[in-house]
Amino acid sequence: MTEEIPVLKKRLPDLDKVYIYPLCDLHYGDKSFDEKKFRGYLKIIADVPEAYCIFNGDLINCITPGGVGGEDLWTQDPITPQAQNEGIVEMIKEYDITDKILAVIGGSNHPGRALKILGHNYDREFAKDLGVLDRYAEPICMLFLGVGSRKVNTETHHKGTSIWYSIVATHGVMGGRLAGSSVNATRDFGSVYAADCVITSHRHLDAATRDEFYLPDLHNKSVTKMRRIYVSAGTFLGYSGYAQKKCLRPNGTGTPRIRFSGITKDCHVSI
């Protein structure tokens, strides 16, 4: 077993399906942060028993003096990274969703500005302040998710057992002006892992694609066809600042919903 990839595990045997919302690229502190939309997602996660989330980076804007985007430093509200982190943590606490957080992925680029200058890791502090440091990983995470057992399809799975999914997630560093750049970068990242679902962020573009590949089964001397889902998660930052200056397309705010079935092995993405 390799220790190169941080691993988290969660089994949810009492649910026949699970929805995961990758929450990322909030850029809390930027004047264009869509707080209303973000709070809407938090309410869904709090109210819907099947709804869970992962936090996948760039939760705070974290512009620092002399750093990237420094010309927008004084437009931030709140201005300091510390106040931004405290503000977003308090907002999330209002909804009491700590038990619904499956993972917090660190290593994102905006908090990374403070890490580079000050040596302080705001991604990690976010997880610590929410009391979920045991679910923190950086810069990548392999999450094993077990769903269901009550109505599992007994033709393909043993009665009373959960259906397990592998989910690999990272914030990402992929750029490019066109949507295809984000999709290609997500698929390229996913090509390293035989995971059921691959999640990246950073590009502020919600998109989903899929492929299939054939996995040798050495034990049974057979070949298994495996389906993979690639998800580029969205953003809660409106159209202004950097996007306008670089003449990028406005993508809108929000993030995909990923459904994992507990009845039969199936993963579906809604955007």
Q: pLDDT (tens digit, 9 = 90+) per residue, 15-30?
A: 999 999 999 999 999 9
Alpha helices for 97-254 (secondary structure H): 109-118, 122-129, 179-190, 242-245
Nearest to 193 by CA among 43, 47, 7: 7
Q: What is the CATH number of the domain that holds 256?
A: 3.60.21
Given pLDDT bands bounded at 50, 70 and 90, which one contains residue 1? low
**DSSP E strands, the chain:** 7-12, 17-23, 51-55, 101-105, 136-137, 140-147, 163-170, 197-200, 207-217, 222-232, 257-261, 267-270
- Compute the mean pLDDT over every residue in the chain, rounded to the nearest whole number: 91
Size of the chain in residues: 271
What residue numbers bound the domain in which 84 lies? Answer: 7-270
245/122: higher pLDDT: 122
Q: Does residue 129 belong to any structural domain of this protein?
A: yes
Q: What is the spatial distance between Cα 175 and Cα 73, in angstroms, rounded to a whole number?
A: 22
Residue 61, domain member (yes or no)? yes
Q: What is the pLDDT of residue 155?
A: 65
Q: Residue 1: inside a domain, yes or no? A: no
Question: Is 51 a domain residue?
Answer: yes
pLDDT of 132 reads 98
Identify the pLDDT of residue 48: 98
Question: Is residue 77 helix, strand or coil?
Answer: coil
pLDDT, one tens digit per residue, over 187-230 is 999 989 989 999 999 999 999 999 998 989 898 999 989 999 99
pLDDT at 163 over 90: yes
What order do you get walking across the sheet with 197-200 strand by strand?
7-12, 140-147, 163-170, 197-200, 222-232, 207-217
| Residue 66: per-residue pLDDT | 67
- Top mean pLDDT of 58-72, 146-160, 243-257 is at 243-257
User: Region 134-144: what's the mean pLDDT?
Assistant: 97
Instruction: Kindly report, residue by residue over 24-51, the tens digit of the pLDDT.
Output: 999 999 999 999 999 999 999 999 999 9
pLDDT at 147: 96
Total tally of structural domains belonging to the chain? 1
CA 57 to CA 86: how far, in whole Å? 15
Question: What band does 72 get if pLDDT is binned at 50, 70 and 90?
Answer: confident
List Cβ neighbours of 92 (8 Å cut-off, separation of 6 or more). 42, 130
| Listed range (4-8, 86-90, 144-148, 178-182) with the worst mean pLDDT | 178-182
Mean pLDDT of 134-150: 94
**Percent with pLDDT over 90 in the chain:** 69
Is residue 2 scored above 70 in pLDDT? no
**Residue 33 β-bridge partners:** 237
Read off the pLDDT band of 241 (50, 70, 90). Answer: confident
Examine the pLDDT at 240 and tell me if it is beyond 80: no
pLDDT band at 244 (very low <50, low <70, confident <90, very high): confident
